[in-house]
Amino acid sequence: MIFTALAISKILAFSQPQKIDVFYTQPRVTVENLRKLPGDGAGEAFLGFLPGMIPMPIAALGFINSIQSGTITIAAAATTGTYTLPTAVDWVSASNGRASLHFQGFRATPAVNTDARYHVCGIEITAANTVTATRNGTVETVTVAFTVIDWDSSFMKVVQFGQAQITTTATTGNAPALTAVVTANSAVQWNGITSTILGSQGSALTALTLTSTTNVQSSRHTGTSATITTYFCVMEFQASVLNSSTIESSPSWASSTTGADSSPFAAVTLAQCWTVYGGSRAAATGWNAQTTPYVFLKDTTHTRLVTRAAVSAAKATVTIVEFKATELAAAQRGQADELIDAVNAYDDISITAIPSTSKALVNLMSFSGTQTTGSGNDANLNQLTLILQSTTAIRMQRTSISNTIGITPSWEVLPFLF
């Protein structure tokens, strides 16, 4: 690499090793090229040596442009709601952009009608500054939580949005074809559902799988008279930013039990992993939140799927994305039982302090609860949103109803280094 006289003079001007944010040469050193330079063993890249030069580490490479979180309200008489992002993101079309969207649950106001079509909703980015939530019915107000991450091109190759529909009586459905991705660098994010089902939301649970370079498939356990549409985005990372190939893991069972581990996979470093949620499903869950499955990264070689009460069959899909130590601070995760009382309708879960809420993602991977029925207003007890409340707490919240329930959410907090 050839440095200009100006660049060399700036380097030699430092009397002690210092970190610099941007380094220009002719030709210009890009963020991607800096990642390929030899390092000091701690993730700091060096520009090399000239006679009399002091090694100069390059730090704080900006691989994320912004992280923005919010909630969307769908009014009682509406089927859609929108949120305007304060900062526009890299989104040109559903198949052309680098902004990803992450579903963090929904909750509805109490209503007598318990059909899932009025509650469940899917979300997608529909413009560079707009996130839209959609449902099929119009009875009550629904609130859905989300986070948008706008990635730099050096880190994210492309993000594609889509919908996979399962038609009546079928158990699987494919989305329209993607622009081909490299599956070893990709992950699919479950972003909610819409349904025509005249019954419980538990019967509308789905899981997504990236079955090929161009296909996302949605599945449920049993065909019904309802159509279910699952919303998603597929993220294809730049290969150079991953510590290992992405791992799609699907823990499941086919006989009555309350938990099962996945098949083992190549060992990963837990603190550097993001468990991207691809959805979960179970047989005959009905309104019984005790049989709703949640999933988590159990150890370095397994994921685990769990329900509170035995269910005859269940499955989940997650994709493990292992970042380099310079890109993600220690990930936190948990599945502890929590109580949501009738007064506050929320519960704050303590986390180890993170540097900033604007540089972190809270990841919800479903939940189970103590509620076993869905009669009338009780249906809304099986719903929650999970948000990053502060640098030391995440908050799970439901609609205020006059009884206390126990909920076990599966969550991760991912503090990115950018």
Residue 382 pLDDT:
66
Residue 398 pLDDT:
81
**CA–CA distances in Å: residue 359 to residues 103, 310, 327, 389, 416:** 17, 38, 11, 13, 6
| pLDDT beneath 70, residues of the chain | 1-61, 110-114, 198-203, 223, 284-287, 373-382, 400-402
Residue spans of the domains in the chain: they are 1-61, 66-331+365-374
Residue 51 pLDDT:
44
The amino acid that residue 306 corresponds to is V
pTM, entire model: 0.85
Residue 285 pLDDT:
62
Alpha-carbon span 30 to 57, nearest angstrom:
15
Sequence-separated (6 or more) residues with CB below 8 Å from residue 3 = 11, 25, 26, 50
The residue to which tokens 């329900």 are assigned: 307
Residue 261 pLDDT:
98
